[in-house]
Structure 1
Amino acid sequence: MKWLVSKDARRFSAAARNESTAVELVAQPVQIKLARFERRLRRWKRAARSELDCRNWARANFANLSFYIPDHLDTVERIDVDEVSDKDFVERFERDGVPCVITGVTKDWKAETEWTPQRLLDRFYNEKFKVGEDDDGKSVFLPFNYFMHYCTSGDAVKDDSPLYIFDPNFADRSRNNTAEDIKKRDKEKKEKRRQEKEKEKEKELKSDKEGKSGSIKSEPSSPEKRGRNSNTDGSDNQQEPPKRLKTIDRSSPAKSPEKEETSLKLTYKTPTSAPATTAPTEPISPTSEKIDIPSSRPTKEMLADYIIPRYFRSDLFQYTGSKRPPHRWVVIGPKRSGTGIHVDPLGTSAWNTLLTGHKRWALFPPEIPKNMVTMRGLPDHEAATWFVMVYPRLTDPSTIDASGKTLADRLGIINLIQRPGETVFVPGGWHHLVINLDFTVGVTQNFCSVANWETVWLKTRNSRPKMSLRLLKKLSSFVEHPREDALEDRLVYKGLVETAKMLETVPQVPPSSSDSSSSSSSSSSGSSETEGASRDNTESESSDEDGRCLCRKCKIRRKRRNGTLGVPSLRIADSRVSTK
């Protein structure tokens, strides 16, 4: 496909560019073995985006473009968390479904100081984070030290849409991944398995002895019958058969001392003082001195580093139990990574807080059809591709009408630049996409509140019936047996239960793009910055008349399900479609 880049894609604000100074990620380069890193990186890239060859990740040269926008296009309303009450926020933004940016949320967060690139590297050096899914739906994980090297001096500098940490399970991993701790756990597991095997052997020997003693008692007691198991004095003394000794083949030639030394080196750890004839080790990235790497901490500790903003603490989905779908993500990514256009699942709203770096957002109202803000034939779901190929068409001067508005203005687009410490509120049903303008670290969560209960309940009842029943049962218990500290909330829960029962006669909501999601940048993770829906229900921004995505990755997945992957004729047909 020929990549067309308009002049609008190259325009940017000088003020915004000066504001986004280069971030010094780490004090020293990450120490890794380059050969091993490059080998594993190719494997991770093939798994996360099998539709691309490792050499095609920079085919569009997006690294030469700037994705900043002029300041006057950032028209979203900004509020201070200390100046707007909870009631005013619900009335002004949440109930009417109006996006906004909230400032002052992170002033009491530990993440302000603990989520810098250097501190994250110190705390989670060996921990693995999810960066996507392969064609079979299995998660792709990267060690954090490898990811930081990828962002600072690896391929992320030139990749069009780099790999992006988008981990929904960071709060569930309570055990660290440090090498020493893994060896200790493996040793404990081996010792436990050895003890279990010994117990099984003892049981088998005991059962064998009991069986043999029973058979001996049933036979006549005579020296001839007893044979050699009887002693000369006529007493029975059944002995355990001797263990079979390991025989040594003396005929084989003896190993030379040099070969024995080589075999020991392969079996055990390499000695500190290696001889001069030892093969050279793999090159290590240049550093001044070898630094001591601290023990990694479990990623669950990140959950204690931030506090849910007070506007979003009444999350009704917290009563759905342990099988609640993914609802919170830690998001870390380099420049040009991000999430494609999508709508949050089940009608939920979301908040997204940025600690480091800058993000660019584009949002469209819920009433706008998805096919109006996308185009057919896009090669992938990446945010960078959308901003280069779709956004210029929506803002093209040829689309200006008599009122002086472009097509994007008539569709109600909201552009904004998110800065460190700012929290973006995304109401349910809004189409949105995000691209990182530099290295970013943030956290996002989806939630269901009283304001959007009706929409969320209808979608949850039809998409997740078992979860909806658990939620309704829990809310009903609050009405029948209210807690002493929540007597005032009894009327609220009662109204929610009555609304749910009243909606029983409402027909099922037809599936639409509102329930769809897009992949995160270069990860196809099945979850975007504020979503957790299944990838199987995804409708791409480039789809055919049947709603099937035409990007190469989705076509490969369909072929795997149909068992036709590898058929030459289908490969040729696929390549023809992808180049239209």
Structure 2
Amino acid sequence: MDERNEHDEEYFSKLAEAKEASRSELKTAADWNALNYAKLFAFSLDAFIDNVPRIDATLVPHEQFIEEYERPYEPVVIRNSQLGWKAQTNWNYEALQELYGEDRFKVGEDDEGYSVRLKLKHYLRYMKETDDDSPMYIFDSSFAERTGEKALLKDYSIPEYFADDLFEYADQKRRPPYRWFVLGPARSGTGIHIDPLGTSAWNALVHGYKRWCLFPTAVQKEALKVQKREAPKQTNEAVSWFQCVYPKTQLPSWPAEHKPLEILQKPGETVFVPGGWWHVVVNLTDTVAVTQNFAR
């Protein structure tokens, strides 16, 4: 067997293992793209509502940010909070492959809650080739604990607005997961949820485009859930939410006070999500980001 075929055999074998472990409810290859979202979920910059305010981190003092956004629990998009980050160059896909291609990142969890991991070189190939409805997604909270990937910490810094964090006073061994390296293709994302323990979060998008919807705590989860009949075997996926639930939020029958806040997050922008807000995020293109939860 020649070298190319050996590489292909390893790739397809490891990919199949990861997909089976992370989504056991999808029994066949056809189950992964049964809803044809790769064709239905098209991306155009002009197609989305964007109604969350933006501020410039170089112009808005920390105290003003607290008074106008953090204290009243108001989401906001922040520009120029990633100035000087090495991630802007180090986190392009070619550099990531060169530096971390042999390292294994978390792409999901199995039915027992254990991490499912895949070598980054295999995942980057998967990103290019996949037509899965809701692709596997690198959302890795332990990268800073592993020798190889620890260098990613040097590529970014916590934005000034979020530097003060009560979690810093907790024993690191008892501290819950709070920071994630995030990488994924179009249609991957995180389903509707509220962040745990009353924490707020910031999400810094380095490359690509993300689409967000946010709802206040008062909205009942039942109203925001994808029904099984709407997207069989894909009810917890972000792309299914935007295909099935989002259109309902635009109908006259949807309560006006519960209309979503919407964001088209662009490269270099950081989203502030106050504690208690429902939010769902889908990648519109290949993306790479870093996100962190914090407590005041």
Aligned match for 1:131, one of 98, 107, 112: 107
Report the residue type matching 1:355 in the other structure: V
What's the TM-score once normalised by structure 1's chain length?
0.48
Residue 347 (1) aligns with residue 198 (2)? yes
Judged with a 3 Å threshold, the aligned counterparts in structure 2 of structure 1 residues 92 and 389 are, in CA distance, closer, same or farther, namely same
Residue 387 (1) aligns with residue 242 (2)? yes
**How far did residue 112 of structure 1 move?**
0.9
Aligned match for 2:80, one of 104, 107, 110: 104
Aligned 8 A contact 1:362 1:432 in 2? yes
**How far did residue 68 of structure 1 move?**
4.9
Which residue of structure 2 lines up, in the alignment, with residue 307 of structure 1? 157
Alignment of 1:542-561 (within 5 A): none
Aligned match for 2:36, one of 27, 40, 61: 61
Alignment of 1:206-225 (within 5 A): none
Judged with a 3 Å threshold, the aligned counterparts in structure 2 of structure 1 residues 357 and 302 are, in CA distance, closer, same or farther, namely same
- SS in structure 2 at match of 1:341: strand
1:279-309: CA deviations, max 9, x gaps? xxxxxxxxxxxxxxxxxxx100001110100
Alignment of 1:78-97 (within 5 A): 78-97=54-73
State how far apart, in whole Å, the 2-side matches of 1:374 and 1:416 are: 20
Q: Which has a greater percent of strand?
A: 2
State how far apart, in whole Å, the 2-side matches of 1:31 and 1:427 are: 49
**How far did residue 384 of structure 1 move?**
0.7
Judged with a 3 Å threshold, the aligned counterparts in structure 2 of structure 1 residues 57 and 90 are, in CA distance, closer, same or farther, namely same
Which residue of structure 2 lines up, in the alignment, with residue 436 of structure 1? 283
Aligned 8 A contact 1:111 1:355 in 2? yes
1:322-368: CA deviations, max 9, x gaps? 21000000000011000000000001000000011000001001222
Alignment of 1:12-31 (within 5 A): none
State how far apart, in whole Å, the 1-side matches of 2:236 and 2:48 are: 28
Residue 426 (1) aligns with residue 276 (2)? no
Unpaired stretches in structure 2, ≥5 consecutive residues: none
What's the TM-score once normalised by structure 2's chain length?
0.92
1:370-405: CA deviations, max 9, x gaps? 122224435330001111111112223xxx2xxxxx
Aligned 8 A contact 2:48 2:264 in 1? no
- SS in structure 1 at match of 2:212: strand
State how far apart, in whole Å, the 2-side matches of 1:105 and 1:306 are: 10
What RMSD over aligned residues (CA atoms) do the two structures have, in Å?
A: 1.7
Number of residues of Structure 1 aligned to a counterpart in Structure 2: 286
**How far did residue 72 of structure 1 move?**
6.8
- SS in structure 2 at match of 1:107: coil
Which residue of structure 2 lines up, in the alignment, with residue 8 of structure 1? none
Q: Which has a greater percent of helix?
A: 1
Report the residue type matching 1:149 in the other structure: R
Aligned match for 1:149, one of 107, 125, 136: 125
Judged with a 3 Å threshold, the aligned counterparts in structure 2 of structure 1 residues 71 and 99 are, in CA distance, closer, same or farther, namely farther
Alignment of 1:386-535 (within 5 A): 386-396=241-251, 400=252, 407=254, 409-449=256-296
Report the residue type matching 1:130 in the other structure: K
State how far apart, in whole Å, the 2-side matches of 1:375 and 1:106 are: 35
- SS in structure 2 at match of 1:106: coil
Alignment of 1:200-349 (within 5 A): 298-322=148-172, 323-349=174-200
Judged with a 3 Å threshold, the aligned counterparts in structure 2 of structure 1 residues 33 and 125 are, in CA distance, closer, same or farther, namely same
1:439-477: CA deviations, max 9, x gaps? 00000000001xxxxxxxxxxxxxxxxxxxxxxxxxxxx
Judged with a 3 Å threshold, the aligned counterparts in structure 2 of structure 1 residues 367 and 149 are, in CA distance, closer, same or farther, namely same
Judged with a 3 Å threshold, the aligned counterparts in structure 2 of structure 1 residues 375 and 36 are, in CA distance, closer, same or farther, namely closer
Aligned 8 A contact 1:362 1:414 in 2? yes
Which segment drifts farther, 91-100 or 362-371?
Answer: 362-371
Alignment of 1:183-202 (within 5 A): none
Residue 173 (1) aligns with residue 146 (2)? yes
State how far apart, in whole Å, the 2-side matches of 1:31 and 1:119 are: 24
Judged with a 3 Å threshold, the aligned counterparts in structure 2 of structure 1 residues 72 and 136 are, in CA distance, closer, same or farther, namely closer
Report the residue type matching 2:19 in the other structure: K
Aligned 8 A contact 1:365 1:412 in 2? no
- SS in structure 1 at match of 2:292: strand
Aligned 8 A contact 2:14 2:118 in 1? no
State how far apart, in whole Å, the 1-side matches of 2:256 and 2:282 are: 20
- SS in structure 1 at match of 2:247: helix
